[in-house]
């Protein structure tokens, strides 16, 4: 699937804006005819947005099950004779799409795009009703994992149910990324896999595998960032060599564009689509992560796609502010915790030279009260879906030079025996898809407690000393981390990135001597962690948890969300942001 773009042969019609919306009372299946009739009692809803925070009704915010989106689309006469492909950037978590009552697509998974050719369903002379039914329920067969529980007792009304989730972010739902009709020429490029490799001498190789909607020729032209054609080739599959490439570097993104040009037998251009990519070399040794031969130290954050009002939706306003703040604080990287982010995010990271660890939505694969792999809750269905998601993720993101590593999961129950065969399968599948990037799985286990870390190239650890253990005991952080990280490195022999460490901090709360939840505590907390990291040469990165405060489910440890942000949810700096800005400016390591 190709990201929707306007090109000389393609045009895009945005369906973003306001749609009609209503909650469906159905328990398992939708009960309303939202596909072919007006929605009863419809309210207006923004697209893209999570629906949860746009209502004054807690029942909408906390809804479990189906909801309907609907709008009319007026085709243009210019669509006649073209292929019409309807594209959704993401819909959380399960979607059914209808045109004038006919179901045209189904999709499972809330963080990756899907599309469907709707040409046969559209009469370009008449408006059509577009409806999307969205189900936000999570079970053990999808990612993220969750389960629906039906607790019984006098306090629970009849039929009461809860969506139980084993992850720490609000289960936002809705149409989260843009919706487009792509108006494509009858013969067009359907998909393309583009890989850019560069050797130590600076010679680049650009390989492509494309598919077309019909028989045609394919020519490719590779342009540098200034638009000069620097290489060309032909064929559905092929490669071309560039004798000397301009490298993509952290902090200095440089991109090439591979134009895929479909042609008829006479050389007439039928379609033209650009894929942007870049050349950089990634290597991992026992103690280093090298980008273009230079050791790279990850300075940055685990993030979320999360903002007030929009919820989990892609929002260009928040994106731009976040990228500005990453620059301001001297960060060079982040992890797309805990799911793939919008493609627009990666495009800008390519351009700006921001290094990204691209994470799958495999989160919540654990339960504090019971095993999940060993008792089959996380089983063959989960694995099949996990592998599908890795295929879709890599198909979507493989051309991005900013993506330097795939993270296959966050904090699965990696201490269980059953985790091993499960992750052996995920790793084998993922390596087959992309042999050029290192793999990691972010864990919170100790050296002894883990059964899977040896399968990965970089050890990624989440650590909360003096927070979830020994709360407030700052003096335990440095000795504890030194011991713990040395043990882990001794056992697995891989470089270590601390992918999470942090402390909840209520902006504006002060206490001296320092106390948990105060701004002063967060600063002292980070300093203590840094003393340990700085003493260990095999620690190759520090990603603070979290970039900004974010919404979670309600709970006794969450004060309207998780407050471990270095920035507030509206992106204002806490004291820790100023401290980090200084530390990362002075960083002697690259
Ligand atoms: C973690 C999780 C992250 C949570 C964080 C916390 O280990 O990976 O999703 O938000 O801890 O703050 O508890």
CA of 457 to the centre of ligand 1 (A): 22
pLDDT for res 590: 40
Residue 124, CB-side half-sphere exposure with 13 Å CA sphere: 12
Atom number in ligand 1 closest to CA 410? 8
Same domain (yes/no): 24, 109: yes
Q: Does 198 reside within a domain?
A: yes
Residue 367 neighbours by CB distance under 10 Å: 17
Locate 415 and state its tokens: 């201490």
Task: Kindly tell me the number of DSSP H helices and DSSP E strands found in the chain.
Answer: 8, 32
Judgement on whether residues 460 and 569 belong to the same structural domain of the protein = yes
Residues 266 and 326 in one domain: no
Starting from the edge strand earliest in sequence, which strands make up the sheet with 189-198, in order? 189-198, 204-212, 237-242
Residue 500 Cβ contacting ligand 1 at under 6 Å:
yes
Last residue of a domain, one of 184, 207, 242: 184
Q: Whose CA is nearest to atom 3 of ligand 1?
A: 168
Domain containing 366: what range?
322-585
Tokens 């942090």, located at residue = 502
Verify whether ligand 1 is closer than 6 Å to residue 410 (CB atom). yes
Q: Assess whether the C-beta atom of 334 lies below 6 angstroms from ligand 1.
A: no
| Structure tokens given for 202 | 């600076």
Cis ω on the peptide bond leading into residue 144 (within 30° of 0)? yes
Q: What is the pLDDT of residue 587?
A: 80
CA 53 vs. chain centroid, Å, equals 21
Total count of domains within the chain = 3
At residue 552, the 3 state secondary structure works out as coil
What residue owns the CA closest to ligand 1's atom 2?
Answer: 168
Q: Which atom of ligand 1 is nearest to the CA of 167?
A: 9
What per-residue confidence (pLDDT) applies to 586? 85
Is the shortest distance between the CB of 462 and ligand 1 below 6 Å?
A: yes
From the list 187, 178, 70, 68, the residue with the least C-alpha distance to 115 is 178
Indicate whether 317 belongs to any domain.
no
**Strand pairing partners for 567?**
548, 573
- The answer as to whether 197 is a domain residue is yes
Where does 280-417 have alpha helices with state H? 316-328, 343-352, 380-397
C-beta separation of 382 from 145 below 8 A: yes
The phi and psi torsions of 274 (rounded to 5 degrees) equal -100, 135
Q: What CA–CA distance (Å, rounded) separates 150 from 553?
A: 18
Residues 553 and 483 in one domain: yes
**Could you tell me how far CA 120 lies from the centroid of its own chain?**
32
* Cβ–Cβ under 8 Å, residues 495 and 538: yes
Give 2 Cα–ligand 1 centroid separation in angstroms: 33
Distance of alpha carbon 93 from alpha carbon 174, whole angstroms? 8
d(CA 496, CA 482) in angstroms, rounded, equals 12
What is the value of pTM for the model shown?
0.98
Choose which residue among 462, 467, 553, 557 to substitute to test ligand 1 binding: the one with the highest number of ligand atoms within 8 A of its C-beta. Answer: 462
Q: Which among 145, 170, 164 is positioned nearest to 413, based on CA atoms?
A: 145
Residue 164 lies in a domain: no
- Same-domain status, 195 and 176: no
- 241 is written with which tokens? 């060599």
Report the phi/psi class of residue 557: left, alpha or beta, with left for phi > 0 and alpha for psi in -120 to 50: alpha
- Is 58 domain-assigned? yes
Q: How far apart are CA 194 and CA 208, in angstroms?
A: 5
Nearest atom of ligand 1 to the alpha carbon of 552: 10
Does residue 306 have its Cβ closer than 6 Å to ligand 1?
A: no
Name the closest-CA residue to atom 9, ligand 1.
168
**What pLDDT shows up at residue 114?**
98
Domain boundary among 212, 246, 277: 277
Does ligand 1 lie within 6 Å of residue 407's CB atom?
no
Distance 544 CA to ligand 1 centre (A): 11
Domain presence at residue 104: yes
Q: Is 392 in the pocket of ligand 1 (CB under 6 A)?
A: no
Low-confidence spans in the chain with pLDDT less than 50: 588-590
Tell me the CA–centroid distance for residue 168 and ligand 1, in Å: 6
Number of residues assigned to the chain? 590
CA of 565 to the centre of ligand 1 (A): 11
Contacts of 54 (CB under 8 A, 6+ apart): 45, 46, 309
Round to whole Å and give the CA distance between 103 and 95.
11
Evaluate: CB of 545 within 6 angstroms of ligand 1. Answer: yes
Atom 6 of ligand 1 has which residue's CA nearest to it?
168
Q: What is the CATH number of the domain that holds 254?
A: 2.60.40.10
Q: Show which of 262, 277, 292 is a domain's final residue.
A: 277
Give yes or no: residues 432 and 415 share one domain: yes
Which CATH number goes with the domain that contains 20? 2.60.120.260
By alpha-carbon position, which residue is closest to atom 10 of ligand 1? Answer: 168
* Rounded-to-integer distance, Cα 141 and Cα 264, Å: 45
Mutate to test the pocket of ligand 1, among 336, 562, 565, 569 (most ligand atoms within 8 A of CB): 562
Q: Are residues 385 and 516 in the same domain?
A: yes
Is 209 a member of any domain?
yes
> Whose CA is closest to atom 7 on ligand 1?
462
Residue closest by Cα to atom 13 of ligand 1: 168
Let me know if residue 77 belongs to a domain.
yes
Q: For residue 351, what is the domain's CATH number?
A: 3.20.20.80
Are residues 193 and 129 part of one domain?
no
What pLDDT does 589 receive? 43
Task: Using most ligand atoms within 8 A of CB, pick from 500, 546, 559 the residue to mutate for ligand 1.
Answer: 500
**DSSP type of residue 518:** S
Task: Name every residue whose Cβ is closer than 8 Å to that of residue 214 and which is 6 or more positions away in sequence.
Answer: 186, 187
* Nearest by Cα to 176 from 399, 345, 374: 345
Are 236 and 357 in a shared domain? no
448 with 537, same domain?
yes
Judgement on whether residues 126 and 238 belong to the same structural domain of the protein: no
C-alpha triplet 521, 526, 529: angle, nearest 5° = 125
Nearest ligand 1 atom to the CA of 557 is: 13
Our answer on whether the CB atom of 310 is closer than 6 Å to any ligand 1 atom is: no
Question: What is the Rg, in whole angstroms, of the alpha carbon atoms belonging to the chain?
Answer: 24
360 vs 347: CA distance, rounded Å: 18
pLDDT at 161: 96
If you write DSSP's letter for every residue of 39-79 in order, what string do you get?
A: PTT-EEEEESS-SGGG-S-HHHHT--SEEEEEEEE---GGG
CA distance 352 to 355: 9
Q: Answer yes or no: do 120 and 256 share one domain.
A: no
Spacing, Cα 261 to ligand 1 middle (Å)? 45
Q: Alpha-carbon distance 580 to 530, whole Å?
A: 10
- CB of 563 shorter than 6 A to ligand 1: no
Q: Ligand 1 in contact with 499 (CB < 6 A)?
A: no
Cβ–Cβ under 8 Å, residues 458 and 441: no
CA–centroid distance, residue 387 to ligand 1 (Å): 24
> What residues act catalytically?
411, 500
CB 271 within 8 A of CB 189: yes
Distance in Å, CA 555 to ligand 1 centroid: 14
Q: What's the rounded Cα separation, in Å, for the pair 390 and 480?
A: 35
Cβ of 505 less than 6 Å from ligand 1: no
Beta bridge partners of 164: 147
Using CA atoms, how far apart are residues 209 and 148, in angstroms rounded to an integer? 42
């Amino acid at each position: 699937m190709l990201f929707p773009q306007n090109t000389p042969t393609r045009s895009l019609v945005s369906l973003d804006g306001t749609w009609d919306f209503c909650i469906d009372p159905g328990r398992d299946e939708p009960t309303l005819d939202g596909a072919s009739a007006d929605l009863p009692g419809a309210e207006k809803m923004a697209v893209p947005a999570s629906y949860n925070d746009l209502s004054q009704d807690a029942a909408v915010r906390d809804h479990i099950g189906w909801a309907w989106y609907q709008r009319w689309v007026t085709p243009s006469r210019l669509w006649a004779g073209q292929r019409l492909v309807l594209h959704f950037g993401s819909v959380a978590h399960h979607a059914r799409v209808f045109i004038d009552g006919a179901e045209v697509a189904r999709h499972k998974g809330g963080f990756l795009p899907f599309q469907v050719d709707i040409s046969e369903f559209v009469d370009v002379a008449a408006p059509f009703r577009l409806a999307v039914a969205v189900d936000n329920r999570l079970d053990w067969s999808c990612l993220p994992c969750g389960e629906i529980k039906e607790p019984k007792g006098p306090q629970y009304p009849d039929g009461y149910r809860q969506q139980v989730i084993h992850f720490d972010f609000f289960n936002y739902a809705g149409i989260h990324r843009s919706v487009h009709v792509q108006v494509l020429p009858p013969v067009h490029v359907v998909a393309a896999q583009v890989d850019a490799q560069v050797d130590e001498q600076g010679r680049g190789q650009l390989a492509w595998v494309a598919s077309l909607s019909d028989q045609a020729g394919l020519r490719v032209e590779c342009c540098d960032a200034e638009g000069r054609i620097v290489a060309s080739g032909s064929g559905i599959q092929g490669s071309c060599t560039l004798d000397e490439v301009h490298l993509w570097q952290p902090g200095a993104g440089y991109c090439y564009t591979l134009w895929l040009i479909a042609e008829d037998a006479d050389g007439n251009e039928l379609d033209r689509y650009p894929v942007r990519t870049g050349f950089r070399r990634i290597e991992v040794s026992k103690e280093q992560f090298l980008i273009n031969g230079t050791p790279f130290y990850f300075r940055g954050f685990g993030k979320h796609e999360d903002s007030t009002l929009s919820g989990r939706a892609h929002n260009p306003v928040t994106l731009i502010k976040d990228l500005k703040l990453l620059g301001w604080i001297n960060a060079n990287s982040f992890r797309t915790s805990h799911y793939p982010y919008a493609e627009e995010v990666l495009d800008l990271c390519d351009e700006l030279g921001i290094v990204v660890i691209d994470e799958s939505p495999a989160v919540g694969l654990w339960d504090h009260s019971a095993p999940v792999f060993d008792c089959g809750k996380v089983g063959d269905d989960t694995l099949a879906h996990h592998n599908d998601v890795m295929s879709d993720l890599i198909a979507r993101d493989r051309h991005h030079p900013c993506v330097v590593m795939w993270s296959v999961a966050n904090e699965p129950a990696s201490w269980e025996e059953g985790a091993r065969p499960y992750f052996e399968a995920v790793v084998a599948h993922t390596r087959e898809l992309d042999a050029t990037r290192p793999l990691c799985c972010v864990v919170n286990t100790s050296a002894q407690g883990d059964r899977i870390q040896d399968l990965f190239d970089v050890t990624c650890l989440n650590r909360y000393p003096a927070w979830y253990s020994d709360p407030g005991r700052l003096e335990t952080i440095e000795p504890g981390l030194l011991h713990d990280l040395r043990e882990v490195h001794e056992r697995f022999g891989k470089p270590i990135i601390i992918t999470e460490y942090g402390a909840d901090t209520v902006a504006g709360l002060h206490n001296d001597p320092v106390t948990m939840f105060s701004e002063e505590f967060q600063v002292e907390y980070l300093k203590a962690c840094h003393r340990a990291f700085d003493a260990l040469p095999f620690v190759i990165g520090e990603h603070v948890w979290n970039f900004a405060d974010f919404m979670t489910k309600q709970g006794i440890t969450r004060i309207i969300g998780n407050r471990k942000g270095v920035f507030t949810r509206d992106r204002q700096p806490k004291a820790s942001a100023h401290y980090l800005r200084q530390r990362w400016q002075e960083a002697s390591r690259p």
